[in-house]
Amino acid sequence: MLIKITADQLPGEAQEAKITRIYPQVGEEIQAGESLVDMEANKQRMTLSSPAAGIVEELYVDTGQIIKKGQLLLTVQGEKMEVQTTSQTGFNYFGSMLKTEKEKTTLQTDLCIIGAGPGGYVAAIRAAQMGSRVILIEKDELGGTCLNWGCIPTKCLVRSAEVYKTLQSAADYGCSAEKINFSMPAVMARKDAVVKQLRQGIEILLHANKIQVLKGSARLLDARTVQVQGQQQERSIKADHLIIATGSRIVDPRIPGIQLKQVINSDMALQMTSLPRKMVIVGGGVIGMEFAFIYAGFGVEVSVVEYAEEILMNCDQDICREIHRIAEQKGIKIYSEARVDAILSTEGQECIVVFNQAEESKFLAADRVLMAVGRQPVTEGLGLEEIGVQLNEDRRGIQVNERMQTSIPNIYAIGDVTNQVLLAHVASAQGIVAVENIMGQERSMNYHAIPSTIFTDPEIGIVGLSEAMAVEQGYEIAVGTFPIEANGKALCQGESQGFIKIISEKRSGRILGAAIIGSHASDLIAELTLAVNKQLNTQDIIDTIHAHPTTAEIIHEAALAARGQPLHFIPR
């Protein structure tokens, strides 16, 4: 039978709400109780779950659209079941009205972890490997932001854009391709399939390690008690140790007009099945620039408005200049040292971004405006201050020591919620450090060799001290650089843009840091991360034979260049 699913309930009893996420695609099979759409209104969020099992026949709404109460959202060909509507915290508000009292249980465990992102689930597995009984709490999806709305989904889009670019340039490789095109719904479907496969992999790992997973929203009642609100149960967990791994959320800047339907965030961008003709991205950091290259790769007219002096300000100036040059070469317009003042609606489908640059008001028309101004730790609603868990001085994130302990000795915090380094691999490393300390092994978190990768086109990889930082810290340095265009493998691949540089201490040759902008930079930076971590010197790299032809040879050449002896390049 054909089942029409409408928005009969909206967040906060509102009459209108914005669609922030759509889960299923047309033609996808769904089960009763699966999430259909996320909605937001009156600063409250809600997830509508499916009242039916069957096949999605038609979607009548899009991400970012403003809907009214009772509006048709989608149709499903299948069998109708009981309706369940939940908030993002996972608590079934409307379902709870049908019950006189929730089932209440108390559980005992060695370790309770709040949050199943790359910090939380890795910590859970490591603890289980060391013999601990573990309960893992997650209010949304396993894998956290990284797997569901960040690292993995965006890299899927990066790959699709890369394949499209390769098809367009087929003639450069002696090949031919006709009627080149792409389907954004198919691109998103592939992204969803990859995310689903990896999420299922996490489920298998947790099950294999006998980790109990609870779905719900957690709150600390005291140093050893966690209350979990689920759809059908309210549970209390008594644990010897706790790890808080609640991650971060998108920052909504205070810009007039941010509530317009044309304005989206990175979560919503990952659900768009149709592309705008013109997009303005507010923020030229990692998130903003990755999306800029993705959309430009699909043919969207992209403009980036950045408040700082330059995009990707955490990179050295030569890296910033190179990626800026390449971005503009690809048609991305960049407005740096610019402040967005407002977003105005028009009579049509477009909007106008009003910004100030060099004391002059400027205007950009766009079909979509993507807000990419950063993230902030999720600490609200956890009951932290009530039980005495101290926050950082700026009140952003939980204060921890090098062992990842909070101000309460048996409570630890890891990942973005600490506001230390907001990277998935850092969260995982912090999780392992926390668990091993809990289990009696003395471990300290070391941040001096943390690699960062940026998936622009070409990629960027960074580790250790930048050139500017090394000089500021008083080092006398030698810098070895080598252009990607001088590498044989890169030329074979048709990827000749960018360069590598290794920053070393001049007297000892010890490698202090490195940066790569070019093909496969995100993979190549691993060797230099090992070098920084183990305090290797440039001679150690020189003495290591690198296979030919590979892009990894640029590391060998840069180490030689740091000593003034490059073999395949004449220094300028």
The residues annotated with a catalytic role in the active site are 548
Phi, psi of 199 (to 5 degrees): -65, -40
Cα Rg, the chain, nearest whole Å: 25
Find out whether 117 and 101 touch, Cβ atoms under 8 Å: no
| Distance, CA of 311 to CA of 7 (rounded, Å) | 41
Contacting residues for 72 by C-beta, under 8 A, at least 6 apart: 4, 5, 6, 60
Q: Find the DSSP H helices in 25-150.
A: 93-96, 120-129, 144-149
CA nearest 483: which of 432, 557, 390, 538?
Answer: 557
CB atoms < 10 A from the CB of 178, how many? 6
Report, in this order, helix, strand and coil percent for the chain, each rounded to 5: 30, 30, 40
Kind of pairing between the strands at 301-305 and 333-335: parallel
Quick check: helix, strand or coil at residue 344? Answer: strand
Quick check: helix, strand or coil at residue 79? Answer: strand
CA distances from 84 to 30, 44, 50, 66, 535 (A): 14, 17, 7, 22, 56
Find out whether 414 and 405 touch, Cβ atoms under 8 Å: no
| Distance, CA of 412 to CA of 462 (rounded, Å) | 28
Q: Which helix (H) or strand (E) holds 165?
A: helix 151-168
310 DSSP 8-state letter:
S
Angle between helices 286-297 and 317-329 (to 10 degrees): 20
Find out whether 218 and 228 touch, Cβ atoms under 8 Å: yes
| Distance, CA of 534 to CA of 536 (rounded, Å) | 6
Q: Token pair for residue 374?
A: 């950063």
With the CA atoms of 364, 325, 281 and 424 taken in that order, what torsion angle do they form, in degrees rounded to the nearest 10? -170
Handedness of CA 334, 294, 47, 57 (dihedral sign): positive
| Distance, CA of 254 to CA of 258 (rounded, Å) | 8
H helix and E strand count, the chain: 15, 31
Give all strands (DSSP E) within 367-450, no chain letters.
Answer: 368-371, 375-377, 411-413
CA nearest 412: which of 237, 242, 223?
Answer: 242
42 DSSP 8-state letter:
T
Map tokens 């062992």 to a residue: 403
Map tokens 């093909």 to a residue: 519
Q: Token pair for residue 544?
A: 């290591």
Kind of pairing between the strands at 351-357 and 338-345: antiparallel
